Structure 1
Amino acid sequence: MTDPRPAPDTCMSGPARFVLALCVLMLAGAVWLITMPEEDTDGKPVPQDQAAAECLALGDGPEPRGTPVQRLAMQVGDDWLRMYVADDPRWVQVCEGNQYGHYQGFGSIIEEPPGQGLHFFGGYDAVVKPKVLMGALPAGATAIEARLASGEVLRGTHDGVYFAIWSPDATVEGATVTATGADGKAIATAPAPVG
């Protein structure tokens, strides 16, 4: 009668088969990682000027009959914002982006300003997605800031006429906006429009 068990040199034990299978899987995974195509993120950085020009070319709203002129540029980390104004018709365009290009554009007609105080552009649309406040400074103002609902204070950027208060990470909706003069005294305070 023959022994039904195979010869010891022709078989592997259960633990040895497990280790072999594990090694094969690890090798296959390593080959897959090496040959895997890169994730599609348009991974090449785009110069800010190029990204902003693409944002302006897309436009938002009625075609400006005038030429949009850059009035403000802001940057926080890799994120950036640029604000353009055209005089005919009075139109403001905001472009936001990061190192990979622009990711949002927003445009609004600039209404006639009130007699005094802060002038926000876009009415209910003045709060952009809701990360940006934009408008015109009151006469005599040399600084502008927003106190957020959280208590955080964001200092705005201005060119003496136009201002933007922007944070890629905080919501400006519901903020209290204050314009101050050279002496640090408040000239105008107003609630941010609610979008």
Structure 2
Amino acid sequence: MTEPRPDQATSTSGPARFMLALCVLMLAGAVWLIAMPEEDTDEEPVPQAQAAAECLAAGEDPEPHGTLVERLAVQAGDDWLRLYVADGRRWVYLCEGNQYGHYQGFGSIIEEPPTQGLHFFGGWDAVAKPKVLMGALPAGATAIEARLVSGEVLRGTHDGTYFAIWSPDATVEGATVTATGADGKVIATAPAPVG
């Protein structure tokens, strides 16, 4: 009986060595991925006032509409919305953004109000920008809300004259909008406008 030589007893076959090396490399790669620092993004937080000013400056409408005065500011998590109304011609401008700046701004003519009921602004924008409804409260209204098609109810923000109903995560298309008075009685109900 021949005894194995010491160098043969401790040696590892070629395929086994390859598998061992591969396992070591995979383990090292996994450790590197776990310890890897987070990727830097090019985006840096922008103060909301600065982002809103940039949104207004980037307005696409070539006609002057007078000085835009901020009437509403709404916050939902990191997202925000600001509504401006011109002091001259009947014009409304809306800016939306988040902590990294503005991502949308659009303006619309303020149409003549109906003789009664809710007064919406934006016309076709109510469909083109389906995350927001804007308009003017009817006389005597102190609250406004929209019941979405899903059944969710969004409470609007208002300044006593102008209102915005907005959610960055829900569409207001097809909603039923209700304005109520201080006593909770319904003053006006209307479907959200469609284009």
TM-score bin, normalised by smaller chain? 0.7 to 0.9
CA contact (8 A) 2:65 2:91 kept: no
- Distance in 1 between residues matched to 2:109 and 2:115, nearest whole Å: 18
- Distance in 2 between residues matched to 1:20 and 1:12, nearest whole Å: 12
- 1:112 Cα offset (Å): 1.4
- 1:125 Cα offset (Å): 1.6
- Residue 3 of structure 1: aligned partner: none
What TM-score, normalized by structure 1, do the two folds share?
A: 0.85
Q: Deviations over 1:46-83 (max 9, x none)?
A: 11111111111100324433111110011111111111
- 1:105 Cα offset (Å): 1.1
- Distance in 1 between residues matched to 2:67 and 2:31, nearest whole Å: 55
- Residue 190 of structure 1: aligned partner: 190
CA contact (8 A) 2:126 2:173 kept: no
- Distance in 2 between residues matched to 1:139 and 1:61, nearest whole Å: 31
Matched pairs, number = 189
Query: How do 1:97-136 residues align onto structure 2 when only pairs under 5 Å count?
Result: 97-127=97-127, 129-136=129-136
Amino acid at match of 1:100: Y
Structure 2 vs 1, CA of residues 89 and 12 (structure 1 numbering), >3 Å: closer, same or farther?
A: farther
Q: Deviations over 1:99-142 (max 9, x none)?
A: 11111112111111112211111212234521000001111111
- Distance in 1 between residues matched to 2:10 and 2:24, nearest whole Å: 21
- Residue 78 of structure 1: aligned partner: 78
What TM-score, normalized by structure 2, do the two folds share?
A: 0.85
- Residue 22 of structure 2: aligned partner: 21
Of 25-34 and 147-156, deviating more is: 25-34
Structure 2 vs 1, CA of residues 16 and 140 (structure 1 numbering), >3 Å: closer, same or farther?
A: same
What is the alpha-carbon root mean square deviation over aligned residues?
A: 2.4
Amino acid at match of 1:18: M
Q: Residue 21 of structure 2 aligns to a residue in which SS?
A: helix
- Residue 95 of structure 1: aligned partner: 95
- Distance in 2 between residues matched to 1:94 and 1:160, nearest whole Å: 18
Q: Residue 123 of structure 1 aligns to a residue in which SS?
A: coil
Gaps of 5+ in 2: 1-6
Structure 2 vs 1, CA of residues 128 and 139 (structure 1 numbering), >3 Å: closer, same or farther?
A: farther
- Distance in 2 between residues matched to 1:81 and 1:29, nearest whole Å: 43
- Residue 178 of structure 2: aligned partner: 178
CA contact (8 A) 1:176 1:192 kept: yes
- Residue 68 of structure 1: aligned partner: 68
Amino acid at match of 1:130: P
Query: How do 1:49-64 residues align onto structure 2 when only pairs under 5 Å count?
Result: 49-64=49-64
Structure 2 vs 1, CA of residues 120 and 36 (structure 1 numbering), >3 Å: closer, same or farther?
A: same
Spell out structure 1 runs of 4+ moving beyond 2 A: 6-13, 21-41, 60-65, 126-129
Same amino acid, percent of matched pairs: 70
